[in-house]
């Protein structure tokens, strides 16, 4: 008979589970960070896309660029305090 007690989890499997859990937490942290960056910078790209759609009727790139710049300036909201 074997007198050594057998564990349900060997020390190697516990270490593997801990490493996999830590890797999953780190990966989710990176994913959350990337999603947060895209969400926080999505508004300027939305305004740029709207300006591109509004200026498609211009034939020349220089006119289209000037039109887009005007639209982007108009779309910027500057909060003004009421007095």
Could you tell me if residue 5 is inside a domain?
A: no
pLDDT tens, the chain, 83 aa long? 566 666 566 668 889 999 999 999 999 999 999 888 877 766 677 888 888 899 999 889 999 999 999 988 887 766 666 65
Q: Is residue 51 part of a domain?
A: yes
The per-residue pLDDT for 6 is 60
- Total domains in the chain come to 2
DSSP codes of every residue in 41-61: THHHHHHHHHHHHHTTT--SH
Region label for 62, one of left (φ > 0), alpha (ψ between -120 and 50) or beta (otherwise): alpha
Specify if 20 maps to a domain: yes
Do 28 and 15 have their domain in common? yes
């Amino acid at each position: 008979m074997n007198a050594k007690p057998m564990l349900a989890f060997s020390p190697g499997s516990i270490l593997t589970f801990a490493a996999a859990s830590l890797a999953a937490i780190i990966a989710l942290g990176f994913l959350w960070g990337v999603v947060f960056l895209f969400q926080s910078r999505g508004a300027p790209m939305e305004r740029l896309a709207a300006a591109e759609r509004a200026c498609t009727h211009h034939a020349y790139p220089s006119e289209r660029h000037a039109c887009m710049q005007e639209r982007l300036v108009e779309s910027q909201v500057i909060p003004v305090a009421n007095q």
